[in-house]
Amino acid sequence: MCGRYTNKLTWAEIVALYRLTLDGPPHNLRPRFNGCPTDPIDVVTERGGKREYSRMRWGLVPNWWSKPLKELRMATFNARAETVTTKPVFCDAFKHSRCLIPVSGYYEWQDTPSGKQPWYFTARDGSPALTIAGIWDQWKDRETGEPLKSCAMIITEPNAFVGEVHDRMPVLLAAKDFEPWLTGEAGVELLKPAPNDLLQKWPVSKRVNSSRADDNDLTLIKKVELATA
């Protein structure tokens, strides 16, 4: 799964990379080094030929959910590529509501004799951006009438490089795939592992194991030395 991410992208970088339609003032974005499920996450969507930036809850709430949000106990921040077209919580969003989720990197955990060891994955070429295939939906709170937009990252089998640490990885899209993914022209054929040479990885502090680790702490992505047996 992909349960934690970083984002160091500036507004100018997001606008340029995703060719946003600028209908409003620029956003003042701050770096994030410990984005967690249910937090707001940056999302790019496309409607009527216009690409828009927004923030959505990370953890999809399907439009048909009729109970209070606190009763949604399923983990819906990741959607598996193998079941995204059939699982009720995700299938409608896959058909009608695609999105791009910009991140700078993400964390995965390796089971070791001394506990779960976090690793940080980011672009091997030093690019500040990775783009994860996402889906989104809009739910309405039956009690308050308030709408809520939410999203999920799509995950797939790992490539050999990621598989050294974990058994899943996010679906990472190339720039040429942005348009067909957003419009729905492309489908499950894009939901495959990234090339082995796309990412680099290194071990990081176990402080990342806590969702309460400071989101502003740059040292969370600093390489640490692994203990030797």
**What are the tens digits of pLDDT across the range 161-192?**
999 999 999 999 999 999 999 999 999 999 99
What pLDDT is attached to residue 142? Answer: 86
Query: Cα-flanking dihedrals φ and ψ of residue 18, to 5°?
Result: -105, 5
Confidence grade of residue 229 (pLDDT, cut at 50, 70, 90): low
The residue among 169, 186, 170 whose CA lies nearest residue 46 is: 186
Residue 50 resides in a domain: yes
- Domain span at 149: 5-221
What pLDDT is attached to residue 17? Answer: 96
In whole angstroms, give the CA distance from residue 60 to residue 44. Answer: 15
Residue 122 resides in a domain: yes
Specify burial of residue 157 (Cβ count, 10 A radius: 0-12, 13-18, 19+): middle
Residue 229 resides in a domain: no
**What are the tens digits of pLDDT across the range 116-159?**
999 999 999 999 999 999 999 999 998 888 999 999 999 999 99
Q: What is the CATH number of the domain that holds 207?
A: 3.90.1680.10
What pLDDT is attached to residue 113? Answer: 86
Token pair of 164 as six digits: 């050294």
Q: CB under 8 Å to 202, separation ≥6 — which residues? A: 119, 120, 223
Residue 209 resides in a domain: yes
The mean pLDDT value of the chain amounts to: 94
CB 100 within 8 A of CB 132: yes
Residue 228 resides in a domain: no
What pLDDT is attached to residue 27? Answer: 87
Domain count, the chain: 1
Confidence grade of residue 73 (pLDDT, cut at 50, 70, 90): confident
Q: Is residue 37 scored above 80 in pLDDT? A: yes
Residue type, 109: W
